[in-house]
């Protein structure tokens, strides 16, 4: 059973998806459903011996192209709707071990092309209002499969965080005539202290207003709303910037850093002249090597974030970490 | 160092409080700072051999009455402000073991009186716009002290979640002339399936639009905005309803259930005729006995909650659990 229920107190849809309780939970490597099917081995989601980047429908989707009718009746106060949309899995590599940080620049470029294509395809489906690409990494984030992968959700609504960004972007444009993200990026670059990496117009910063200790935003210099608008040089820059940030993350505490990666593209049907600007956000939960930031009362009950670190200090740490050796960069190019 | 930084992408203040990184972290019982000071023992926060309910300033506050000047300069795009307000600790009991569930009805009534008094006191401080009472319970929520206690934050702004509720309440009143919470409560009672307990006009439900599997809301039948507006009979009802819900929670999986408890009163300066209605929200992180719901990509990156359970089913489980034995209720009264 799966449906959307309207939360009238917060003005947002809640996705109810009960079949997900039994989803595969941290299977041993030999039973990983995201590995290529081995000759003589158990079948996996990917019936090939090798692959590059693979996308397929999530077997435990919260949103789907042909959703069941809602199991409950809505009211004017609390409407219900079918859980229409899509949930896709993006497997980054046939290798079970490792993480996105291990992907070559070539693989990252192909992954960016896949993200871009899927966004365009899903945006054309009737009823899809937002395509959200993300990755949950690490058991402390609640990941149920260790194999390096990300996800794509196609929502039948503009989700609350993006809706707030859109409203903020529109208010900023009305007030100043400019783009909110272009202006934030310009301010970060002028200050410079929180910039941790730059390549081909892409800027990676711990933003001045970070909510998480090691939160990093990636912004392209050119005002675009979608991955599909990026040119070849900008895609190269994005791949290099991602690789640099992920390498810094893994050197920070000496282990593969957990994070949520959120790719914020414009809502479906807007274009680059609208007041939105493509950007990536990374939220690692660690506030120290051994302590996590929890979303507790202030964050979940009131929505007020407390950051126990200074963005200038966490940025300084990330900035000082070499993203990779010079030879590694040369080998990658 | 401590300050407020404006997040222009989301339109909200972020509290930066770097001195909290070194706060006391799960000390052994003999060093619990919330226990009464024992004769000959180390000093604690409470220099008494016994007490009932105690409130004092948090030693590691993110907001304080006399905050330092911000350590960074703001801009028009990203203003900064002093982290003014208050962070208080409410110790429920001198007993180190146990939880709020063990409090007698008499102790709960006194706790409600303390909450009510502190709200009124803090609301009178210049600059305080919202008084938020909450409890983080359990190590999986990130609690750093095991001794049963809650917290009070006095924010110099209306925090985002409450601001959204206020906006929704006002929109509902404009549209229908009624109170959003009164109408939600009426609908829940008419449907009845998700009501898990009622006493003295208080209704406890797993709301139709629950975002967490065992989320429970407590609403008074009378339209009030603040705890201080409750009469003696309504306070008795609240104490009994809290005790019943907490007892059900602890019987659900056979262990003391972790949760965030958020008490939503009206913003400072509004009154009961305004479009807000006092209510309690409980969010336990467990989706099963052994599995937690994590706030991952969809929730933190997009703001779209996925609930892997049906509210009708989780409510049915909670409803069927006897809150306490008949003798215990009689003994309590």
Q: What's residue A28's pLDDT? A: 85
Task: Judge contact between B122 and B131, C-beta under 8 A.
Answer: yes
Q: What's residue A174's pLDDT? A: 95
User: Which of A56-70, B38-52, B161-175, B245-259 is predicted with the least confidence, judged by mean pLDDT?
Assistant: B38-52
In Å, what is the CA distance from B268 to each residue of B14, B122, B131, B160? 20, 9, 7, 15
Q: Which of residues 237-276 of B touch A (CB under 8 A)?
A: 260-262, 264
B330 versus B317: the higher-pLDDT residue is B317
Could you tell me the end-to-end alpha-carbon distance of chain B, in angstroms, rounded to an integer?
Answer: 48
**Does residue B327 register a pLDDT over 60?**
no
Model pTM score: 0.95
Q: Is B8 on the interface with A (CB under 8 A)?
A: yes
How far does B110 lie from chain A, in Å, by closest CA? 22
C-alpha R_g of chain B = 20
B271 versus B309: the higher-pLDDT residue is B309
Do B310 and A18 make contact, defined as CB atoms within 8 angstroms?
yes
Q: What's residue A323's pLDDT? A: 74
Which part of chain A has CATH 3.30.428.10? 32-59+85-332
Angle (nearest 5°) at CA B77 between A203 and A9: 100
Which among A78, A209, A312 is the nearest to B14, CB-wise?
A: A209
**CA nearest to A21 within chain B:** B308
pLDDT in tens, B12-42: 999 998 887 777 778 888 889 999 998 888 8
Backbone angles phi, psi at A40, to 5 degrees: 80, -10
Q: What's residue A42's pLDDT? A: 85
For B248, the enclosing helix (H) or strand (E) is helix B232-252
> Shortest CA distance to B154 belongs to which of B277, B60, B63, B276?
B63
> Shortest CA distance to B11 belongs to which of B191, B158, B231?
B158
CA–CA separation, A150 and A133 (whole Å): 8
Q: Is A47 on the interface with B (CB under 8 A)?
A: no
CA–CA separation, A85 and A129 (whole Å): 9
pLDDT in tens, B180-196: 999 999 999 999 999 99
Average pLDDT in chain B: 93
Among the listed residues B149, B172, B217, B223, the single catalytic one is B149
pLDDT in tens, B202-224: 999 999 999 999 999 999 999 99
pLDDT in tens, B67-126: 999 989 999 999 999 999 999 999 999 999 999 999 999 999 999 999 999 999 999 999
Q: What's residue B332's pLDDT? A: 57
Both tokens of B216, joined, read 């429970």
Residue B89 CB neighbour total at 10 angstroms: 22
CA–CA separation, A158 and A164 (whole Å): 10
- Check if B233 is active-site: no
Q: What's residue A12's pLDDT? A: 98
Low-confidence ranges of chain A (pLDDT < 50): none
Chain B residues whose beta carbon lies within 8 Å of the beta carbon of residue A191: none
> Shortest CA distance to A137 belongs to which of A98, A87, A168, A165?
A98
Task: Judge contact between B183 and B175, C-beta under 8 A.
Answer: no
- Domain B24-59+85-332 = CATH 3.30.428.10: yes
Burial class (CB in 10 A: 0-12, 13-18, 19+), B92: buried
Angle (nearest 5°) at CA B98 between B97 and B101: 160
pLDDT band at B328 (very low <50, low <70, confident <90, very high): low
Q: Is B144 on the interface with A (CB under 8 A)?
A: no
Q: What's residue A332's pLDDT? A: 57
User: Average pLDDT, stretch B278-298?
Assistant: 95
Pick the CATH number of A32-59+85-332 from 2.70.160.11, 3.30.428.10, 2.60.40.3500, 1.10.10.10: 3.30.428.10
User: Average pLDDT, stretch B34-58?
Assistant: 90
**Does residue B331 register a pLDDT over 70?**
no
Task: Judge contact between B313 and B250, C-beta under 8 A.
Answer: no
Q: What's residue B29's pLDDT? A: 85
> Shortest CA distance to B332 belongs to which of B115, B117, B101?
B101
Cα dihedral A216, A209, B276, A301, rounded to 10, equals 50
């Amino acid at each position: 059973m799966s449906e959307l229920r309207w939360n009238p107190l917060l003005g947002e849809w809640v996705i109810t998806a009960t079949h997900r309780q039994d989803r595969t939970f941290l299977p041993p490597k030999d039973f990983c459903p995201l590995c290529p099917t081995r000759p003589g081995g158990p079948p996996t989601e990917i019936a090939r011996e090798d692959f590059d980047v693979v996308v397929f429908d999530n077997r435990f989707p919260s949103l789907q192209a042909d959703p069941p009718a809602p199991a409950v009746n809505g009211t004017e106060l609390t409407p219900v709707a079918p859980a229409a949309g899509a949930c896709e899995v993006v497997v980054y590599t046939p290798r079970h071990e490792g993480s996105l940080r291990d992907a070559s620049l070539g693989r990252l470029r192909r992954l960016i092309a896949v993200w871009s294509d899927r966004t365009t395809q899903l945006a054309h489906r009737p009823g899809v209002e937002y395509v959200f690409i993300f990755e949950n990494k690490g058991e402390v984030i609640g990941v149920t499969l260790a194999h390096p992968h990300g996800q794509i959700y196609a929502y039948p609504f503009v989700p609350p965080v993006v809706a707030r960004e859109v409203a903020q972007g529109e208010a900023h444009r009305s007030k100043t005539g400019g783009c909110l993200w272009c202006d934030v990026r310009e301010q970060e670059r002028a200050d410079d202290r929180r910039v941790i990496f730059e390549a081909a117009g892409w800027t990676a910063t711990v933003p001045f207003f970070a909510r998480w200790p090691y939160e990093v935003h990636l912004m392209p210099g050119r005002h675009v709303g979608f991955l599909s608008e990026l040119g070849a040089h900008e895609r190269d820059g994005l791949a290099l910037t991602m690789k640099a940030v992920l390498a810094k993350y893994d050197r920070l505490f000496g282990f593969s850093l957990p994070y949520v990666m959120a790719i914020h593209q414009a809502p479906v049907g807007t274009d680059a002249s609208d007041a939105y600007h493509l950007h990536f956000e990374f939220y690692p939960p660690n506030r120290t090597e051994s302590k996590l930031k929890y979303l507790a009362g202030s964050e979940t009950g009131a929505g007020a974030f407390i950051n126990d670190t200074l963005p200038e200090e966490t940025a300084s740490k990330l900035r000082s970490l070499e993203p990779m050796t010079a030879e590694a960069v040369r080998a990658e190019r």
